[in-house]
Chains A and B, each alone.
Chain A
Amino acid sequence: MTFLGLPAGSGHLHGERGFPAAARDALDDVQLRRNLGRATATIRAKRAAVVGELPDWAELRAAGAAIKDDVLAHLDEYLVQLEEQVTARGGTVHWARDAGEANRIVTELVRATGAREVVKVKSMATQEIRLNDALAAAGIAAIETDLAELIVQLGHDEPSHILVPAIHRNRSEIREIFRREMPGVDPDLTDDPRALAEAARRHLRAKFLEAQVAISGANFAVAETGTLGVVESEGNGRMCLTLPRTLITVMGIEKLVPTWRDLEVYLQLLPRSSTGERMNPYTSTWAGAVEGQEFHLVLLDNGRTATLADPEGRAALRCIRCSACLNVCPVYERTGGHAYGSVYPGPIGAVLSPQMTGVKENPTLPFASSLCGACYDVCPVAIDIPTMLVHLRGRVTESKGRTPERAVMGAAAWTMRDSGRWTRALRAARLGRLLRRRRALPPPLSAWTATRELPEPPTETFRDWWARR
C-alpha cells in the first residue's frame, strides 16, 4: 500500500540515521539516561495517581476514542463546517498540503504585518513543519515562550518529548544554557528552579509586550462553533493568544471535535494523561477574531490524509499528544526522543511518523518497540499501538521486497508448517552442541551473543523425550 496521490508528510518526521544507530549513541549518554529515568518515573506515578481516582476512566477513554473515530470518519464534513464557522467569526482559513506549503503561508502572513519577530506558543504542528527555520530564512525571528521550548531553542537543540521538550536536560544544564544564550541574564544565576523560571519570565515578559504577531498550535478545534483551544501550564499561551494584534494558528486536520460538549471528555483525559494533573492551569479558547485583531487558521495535512487511508493505521490520528505512552515506554525511557529522528518520538511516534512520511522514509521506527503493550494500557484514546506497530512492520517488509531476512523467515515457516520437517530440523539443531560456541557467533546471532549467552542445546528435544517415555 502506498496511497498514491496523497501528500506525504515532510519536515521534522524522520532522522538521518535509522533508530538502532541513533539509539546506540543515546544509550551511552549517562546524563540523558539519568534525567530520563527520573523524569519519566515521576510523571508515571503522578499520572497513575490521578487516573486511578476517576471511577469512570474506562468510559471516558472509550468516549475519547469514539468521538475521534467519528471525526475521522466524517473529517471532510467537519473541516468544512469549521472553516465556515471560523470565517463567519472574522477569521481566515488556509489549507496546507504539506510542511512547505504551511511554512510559505505563515511566512507570507507574517511578512504582510511587517513584523521581524513573532512569539510562539508551544506547538507540535509548527515543530513538525520546522516553521522556525522557515521563518528564520525569511529574516523573521520566532521566540518560543514555553519554558521548555525556550530551553531547547536557546540550546540550539531539538525537542525530545512531546510535552516536556527539554526532558533530556537537568537544571544545571539549563543554567549553563541560560548563562550562555539569554541576553542580559544575571551571570550569578543559580540552578534553583525558581531562579531559572524567574530569569525566563523576565526575558519573556519583554517579548510578550513587544510582539505584534503570535503563532500557536491548537489542542482542539470545535467544528460547530469554530472555537480553537489551547491547554497549557505557564500562562505564556494566554499572553500570546491575547496580546499581539495578529494570531496565526497552525493545526493538524485531525484536531477537530464535533461539538463544544465533546471538550468535556478531552479536558479530563488530556491533563491527567500528560502532566498528571486533574486540570491544567490555563485553558484558552477563542473563535474568530475580535475587532482590531486578525486571526488566521492554517489547516495542515502533511501526511494525515495518507494516514487516514489505511484502515489498520488510521486510529493513530486519534492521538491528542498527551505523551503518556512516551512516559511508560521502556524503549523511550532509555533512548530519549532524539533517537526517533521525528518530532513525534516514543510509541505514538513509531506508528505516526512512518505513516505520515510513508514507511520507506521511516523503515526502522515500527521495529523500535519490544511490543510490551504498556503504551496501549495508558493511551487515553485507546490507540492499540502494539497491533499497529505489527501492521506497519508488515508494510515495511513488503516495501522491501526480497531480502535475506524474508528468505530466512520463509524457510523457517516452510519447516514449521510440517511437523515431520520440524522434527528433523530440531534433531539437526542438536548438532549445535558439537560446536560449543555460544559466545562469538556470526551475524545476526552476534547481536544476541554480544551481551547474552545462548542456551546450551539440550541432549534431547521435548518431542523425543515424549516419544520414548
Chain B
Amino acid sequence: MRVALFATCLVDGLFPQVGRATVAVLERLGHEVAFPQQQTCCGQMHVNTGYAKQALPLVRNHVEAFAGYDAVVTPSGSCAAAIRHQHAELAAAVGEAELATAATETAARTYELSEFLVDVLGVTDVGAYFPHRVTYHPTCHSLRLLRVGDRPYQLLRAVRGLELIELPDAESCCGFGGTFALKNADVSSAMLSDKMRNVLATGAGICAAGDASCLMHIGGGLERLHAGARTLHLAEILAATEEPR
C-alpha cells in the first residue's frame, strides 16, 4: 500500500511535530510513508470564509499532488472533512466535471489518522507508551462530518500508562471555527473559556484532540492563563514510546 501523508498547511508551517509524530506512528506499524512535495492546503479556510472561487486552484493542486497513492492520511479531521465534503462540490459548482470526478476519487482514499489506523489498518494498539492523565476533545468536524465516533478513544485506551479522563460536555465546540475565531473573537473566547473550564475540571494535565487548529485555540488559551494544562495532538501521544526519541 502506497501511503501518502497530507500534513496540512497548519502542521507544515506551525506544528511540524504533529507531522513527524504521524510519520513515526505509521512507520512503526511497518508502512512506508511518502510526503508529496506538491501539497499545500485543502482550501477550507477560503471556502468557509466565503471565497470558494479562490479555493479552486488549491483543490486542483491537492488532487494532482495526491494522484496515484493508495491512501492519503492526514492528522486533521477538519481538513479530511473539507476534502470529503467540499472539494468535488466546488469543482462541480463551476462546471469542472473532470476535476470533480478526480476530487471524489481522491476523497474516497483520504483518511483522518484515527480512521486510517482503526478502519484501514485494523489497529488500535499502536505500541505507544504515555504515562500521563489525558482528556480528549472530539473536534466538531471529526465528530459530525467524519463520524469518527469512538475511534480516537479506542486508540488512546490502548496506550500503555495513559489514564483517559472523560471531558465534561466534550461534544461542545471549543469556539475555534477558523476565521470565526477572529471575526467573532468575543463569542469564540466565551466558548473557549467553557472548554478550558471543562478541561481543567478533569484534572488532566493534557487535553488531546485530532486537529492542530482547535488545539492551537485551546492551547493558546490555556497558555495565556498559565492554567497548568497543555495540549497535544493525538498523533503525538500515539508516537510516544519508552524509547527516548
Chain A interface residues (CB < 8 Å from chain B): 19-20, 23-24, 27, 330-331, 334-335, 366-374, 376-377, 387, 390, 393-398, 405-406, 409-410, 412-413, 416-419, 422, 426, 429, 444-445, 447-448, 450-455, 457-458, 460-463, 465-466
Contact = CB atoms under 8 A, between A and B. Distances in A.
Interface string B201-216: 0000000000000001
Contacts of B192: 451-452
10 contacts: A20-B185, A330-B173, A334-B191, A368-B187, A374-B171, A413-B58, A426-B12, A447-B185, A457-B13, A458-B17
A372 B175 CA distance: 9
Interface string B20-61: 100000000000000101111101011111111011011011
Contacts of B58: 413, 416-417
B51 A417 contact: no
Contact of A461 (B12, B173, B185, B224): B12
Interface stretch (B103-111, B118-126, B139-147): B139-147
B14 interface: yes
Contacts of B9: 416, 422
A448 B185 CA distance: 7
Contacts of A412: 45-46, 54
Chain B, interface size: which category? 35 or more
A452 B191 contact: no
A269 B241 CA distance: 50
Contacts of A390: 47-48, 50, 52
Given A19-B184, A448-B182, A397 B49 contact: yes
B188 interface: yes
Contact of A397 (B13, B51, B61): B51
The secondary-structure label for the interface of chain B is helix
The secondary-structure label for the interface of chain A is helix
Contact of B173 (A24, A372, A406, A455): A372
A465 B50 contact: no
Contacts of A373: 140-141, 143-145
A458 B184 CA distance: 27
Contact of A462 (B19, B38, B224): B19
B127 interface: no
The 6 closest A-B pairs by CB, nearest first: A370-B177, A452-B220, A393-B50, A372-B173, A397-B50, A373-B144
Contact of A27 (B13, B183, B186, B221): B186
Contact of B37 (A405, A419, A452): A419
A317 B65 CA distance: 40
B51 to A, nearest CB: 5
B190 to A, nearest CB: 5
B177 A372 contact: yes
B182 A444 contact: yes
B144 A376 contact: yes
Contacts, number: 185
A372 B144 contact: yes
Interface of B: 7, 9, 11-17, 19-20, 35, 37-41, 43, 45-52, 54-55, 57-58, 60-61, 65, 85, 140-141, 143-145, 171-173, 175-192, 194, 216-217, 219-221, 223-224
Contacts of B55: 413
B51 A413 contact: yes
A182 B198 CA distance: 42
B186 A393 contact: no
Given A461-B12, A465-B20, A367 B7 contact: no
A444 B179 CA distance: 10
Contacts of B19: 462, 465-466
A452 B220 CA distance: 4
Given A452-B217, A454-B220, A462 B16 contact: yes
Given A371-B180, A455-B14, A419 B38 contact: yes
Nearest to B19: A462
A440 to B, nearest CB: 12
Nearest to B34: A466
A367 B14 contact: no
Contacts of B46: 409, 412-413
Contacts of B15: 455, 458
A370 B14 contact: no
Contacts of B175: 330, 370
A369 B57 contact: no
A345 B61 CA distance: 39
A374 B172 CA distance: 9
B182 A455 contact: no
Contact of A409 (B39, B49, B191): B49
Contact of A367 (B12, B145, B184): B184
Nearest to A445: B182
A452 B40 CA distance: 26
B46 to A, nearest CB: 6
Contacts of B60: 417
A409 B54 contact: yes
A417 B172 CA distance: 34
Nearest to B78: A371
A376 B190 CA distance: 22
A82 B38 CA distance: 59
Nearest to A23: B187
A62 B193 CA distance: 37
Nearest to B191: A330
Contacts of B172: 330
Contacts of B186: 20, 23-24, 27
Contacts of A387: 85
A463 B173 contact: no
A393 B61 CA distance: 24
A412 B179 CA distance: 14
Nearest to B223: A453
A311 to B, nearest CB: 11
A455 B180 contact: no
Contacts of A396: 50
Nearest to B35: A466
The winner among B19, B41, B171, B186 for most chain A CB atoms within 10 A is: B186
